[in-house]
């Protein structure tokens, strides 16, 4: 079977709305996906403010934001379809939405972006709300990407995403996956870069010019979250809370804080891998790295330095996959929902059972 799908992702780093048009094929149980067109639509200052402050809105204003953001998504995708001449070439749209609240302990999660609004504007079938069923079954609702890691990227032992939050999928010898959020990543680095009037630390140059603050790194590394076993997940707020006191300290240079946060990210990635696999079984593993942090040259150099001693081979794919892997996997998750096949793995989220998650809006 061949499916022409648009996948949508908005991550915690608030870079913008990622849009991918992909051809997904399933032949006798073997899956493949090809990115045909892709674009990141940056958020303007108003959307950056509104998405960042969504959790402090009263209920009526929050509902209005959900609808307004759904219409924003619909119009952005409509422009994407027109620009790339995709009219009548899209089977359906799979939208992750933007996570504004995530609290698995109360079985609650919310990704805004009203599916009915998207479907009405595009007059196409839309699948959204991809995490809620797993949460309802007692899972973390995250990460949900491991189904894509298994079906599309099964040749890799480790799959690291360096987005607003760093998360990882680890394949064992039985082709089962452990997956979890590791620590804060780009959202903390971007927050610090903004203190110097920059939207991000390009190539990690600011961090590379800073110096390590060893005592602060030791303190940051003691957070209780890092001691939890998988499955586990971080909300945007929790991820930032683990470093908030440090990044707001005035006495340190921003460059030093950036350098230290990079060291934290690298050390937690290494510690997580060793904890899950065991130091004796790591050599020869291949790790695919994607997400915006993969373009941070300093971060990648530090990661390479730490992981090469363990015998891990780091693989950076083509730029398009680095940027759009998560949107591509959302398209796959939507395709599995369309087929009523399992699209969220309980082995990754800790849920009671595998599930077929996603709300379905006909739109035609």
| pLDDT at position 315 | 97
207: nearest Cα among 230, 228, 184, 189: 189
160: nearest Cα among 322, 22, 334: 322
User: What dihedral angle (degrees, nearest 10) is formed by the CA atoms of 260, 263, 269, 271?
Assistant: -100
Cα dist from 43 to 47, 75, 294, whole Å: 6, 13, 21
What is the pLDDT confidence band of residue 364, given thresholds at 50, 70 and 90? confident
Place of tokens 């996603």: 358
| pLDDT at position 189 | 97
What is the pLDDT confidence band of residue 54, given thresholds at 50, 70 and 90? very high
Q: What share of the chain is helix, strand, coil (3-state, %, to 5)?
A: 45, 25, 30
Residues 318/338, Cβ–Cβ less than 8 Å: no
> Can you list the alpha helix ranges (DSSP code H) found in 154-293?
186-194, 205-208, 214-220, 236-241, 244-247, 254-277
d(CA 198, CA 192): 9
Mean pLDDT across 181-200: 96
d(CA 96, CA 119): 14
3-state secondary structure (DSSP) of residue 196: coil
Reported pTM: 0.94
pLDDT score of 75 more than 80: yes
| pLDDT at position 172 | 87
d(CA 347, CA 119): 32
Mean pLDDT across 185-200: 95
Of all residues in the chain, what percent carry a pLDDT higher than 70?
A: 100
Residues 167/149, Cβ–Cβ less than 8 Å: no
Mean pLDDT across 24-34: 97
Say which CATH architecture domain 146-320 belongs to.
2-Layer Sandwich (3.30)
- Bond prior to 143 in cis (omega within 30° of 0): yes
pLDDT score of 331 more than 80: yes
CATH no. of 2-142+325-361:
3.30.420.40
DSSP 10-40: E-TT--EEEEEEEEEEEETTEEEEEEEEEEE
Of all residues in the chain, what percent carry a pLDDT higher than 90?
A: 93
Query: Which residues belong to CATH 3.30.420.40 in the chain?
Result: 2-142+325-361, 146-320
Cα dist from 307 to 161, 285, 362, whole Å: 15, 10, 47
Mean pLDDT computed over every residue of the chain: 96
């Amino acid at each position: 079977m061949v499916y022409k799908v648009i996948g949508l992702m908005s991550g915690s780093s608030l870079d913008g709305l990622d849009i991918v048009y992909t051809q997904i094929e399933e032949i006798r149980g073997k899956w493949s996906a090809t990115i045909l067109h892709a674009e990141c639509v940056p958020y303007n200052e108003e959307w950056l403010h509104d998405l960042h402050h969504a959790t402090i809105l009263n209920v009526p204003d929050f509902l209005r934001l959900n609808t307004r953001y759904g219409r924003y998504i619909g119009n952005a995708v409509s422009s994407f379809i027109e620009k790339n001449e995709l009219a009548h070439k899209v089977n359906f749209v799979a939208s992750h939405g933007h996570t504004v609240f995530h609290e698995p302990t109360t079985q609650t999660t919310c990704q805004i972006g009203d599916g009915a609004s998207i479907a009405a504007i595009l007059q196409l079938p839309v699948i959204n709300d991809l995490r809620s069923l797993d949460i309802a079954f007692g899972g973390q609702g995250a990460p949900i990407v491991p189904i894509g890691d298994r079906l599309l990227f099964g040749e890799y032992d480790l799959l690291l995403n360096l987005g607003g939050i760093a998360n990882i999928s680890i394949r064992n010898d039985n082709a089962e996956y452990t997956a979890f959020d590791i620590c804060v990543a780009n959202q903390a680095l971007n927050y610090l870069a903004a203190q110097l009037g920059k939207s991000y630390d390009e190539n990690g140059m600011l961090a590379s010019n800073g110096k390590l603050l060893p005592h602060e790194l030791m303190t940051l590394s003691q957070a209780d979250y890092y001691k939890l076993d998988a499955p586990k997940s971080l909300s945007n707020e929790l991820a930032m809370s683990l470093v908030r006191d440090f990044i707001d300290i005035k006495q340190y240079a921003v460059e030093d804080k950036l350098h230290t946060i990079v060291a934290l990210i690298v050390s937690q990635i290494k510690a997580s891998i060793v904890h899950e696999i065991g130091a004796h079984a790591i050599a020869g593993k291949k790790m695919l790295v994607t997400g915006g942090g993969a373009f941070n040259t300093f971060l990648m150099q530090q990661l390479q330095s730490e992981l090469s001693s363990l015998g891990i081979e780091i693989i950076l794919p083509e730029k398009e996959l680095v940027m759009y892997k998560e949107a591509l996997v959302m398209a796959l998750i939507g395709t599995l929902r369309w087929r009523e096949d399992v699209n969220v793995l309980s082995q990754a989220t800790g849920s009671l059972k595998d599930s077929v998650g996603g709300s379905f809006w006909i739109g035609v």
